Structure 1
Amino acid sequence: MRAAAERHGSYGYGNPVMLVHAVTAPNAVMRVLPVLPEAMWPASLAAAWAATAAVTAAYAPAEPRLLPQPRPDLTIAELADRAVAIGDPHAIKYADAVADVLAAAPDPALLSAAVRSVDELAD
């Protein structure tokens, strides 16, 4: 999920709504894994990878854009608040997925890119 979230910061501008699914699909799978029988884990992870790869291949632009400057003042709560204020379900799901990634390993650069991505989903 981290790789997909980081990639969205540079390539998500190509189609913000569709490319959000490259982050949210694996996040959804990771959340349900604990309640699935272990025998289903490999297929579930493969499906998440396939969804991310397919959406990325279909909608990502050829060139990345520059990432915004990291802002140490940003918080995960601000990311969530912005997504909720926008009201777009894609923005909310994306912010939630990125919050999971950042909870595991904080990264001001990823948080700054995620805030920009959420703001773009308002357009």
Structure 2
Amino acid sequence: MLVHAVTAPNAVMRVLPVLPEAMWPASLAAAWAATAAVTAAYAPAEPRLLPQPRPDLTIAELADRAVAIGDPHAIKYADAVADVLAAAPDPALLSAAVRSVDELAD
């Protein structure tokens, strides 16, 4: 369920260019409110440590893993993470995303 905390705001960001600008603030506010609600309801009680960044990981590997498990949520999640990483590459985020996709296979 936590995957929606990433995919929902990403979906809104993708449609903003075709929405009237007057709708942007309300659209973003709704996406972030949904993200906060999902996170509050489903986040684990104890935080987990981030995995060690692996410089050998690529966005393509993340996408391949998501497709290989065949879960639509994993694919949407990998796609959303790819958008973020395209704007701001971060090996720690990529490592965490790969772990998250792998856990969706369980």
Deviations 1:55-82 (A, max 9, x none): 0011111211111111000000000000
* Number of the residue aligned with 2:86: 103
- CA deviation vs aligned residue, 1:25-60 (integer Å, no higher than 9, x gap): 000000000000001101100110111000001111
Aligned to 2:32, what secondary structure does the other structure show? helix
Uncovered stretches (5+) of structure 1, i.e. residues with no partner: 1-17
Distance 2:81 2:91 in 1: 12
Q: 2: distance between equivalents of 1:80 and 1:106?
A: 15
SS in structure 1 of the partner of residue 47 of structure 2: coil
1:74 is aligned to 2:68: no
Instruction: Give, in whole Å, the separation in 1 of the partners of 2:65 and 2:56.
Output: 15
Residue 28 of structure 1 is matched in structure 2 by 11
The CA RMSD measured in Å over matched residues stands at 0.5
Structure 2-normalised TM-score? Answer: 0.98
CA distance in 2, matches of 1:29, 1:107: 22
Measured in 2, the distance between the counterparts of 1:26 and 1:33 equals 11
1:81-115 Cα offsets, whole Å, 9 max, x none, are 00001100000000000000000010001100100
Q: Which runs of 5+ in 2 are unaligned?
A: none
Distance 2:58 2:42 in 1: 29
Query: Larger relative CO (CA 8 A, sep 6+): 1 or 2?
Result: 1
Percent identity for Structure 1 against Structure 2: 100
2:2 alignment partner, SS class: helix
Rounded to whole Å, the distance in 1 between the matches of 2:64 and 2:77 is: 12
Q: TM-score, normalised by structure 1?
A: 0.85
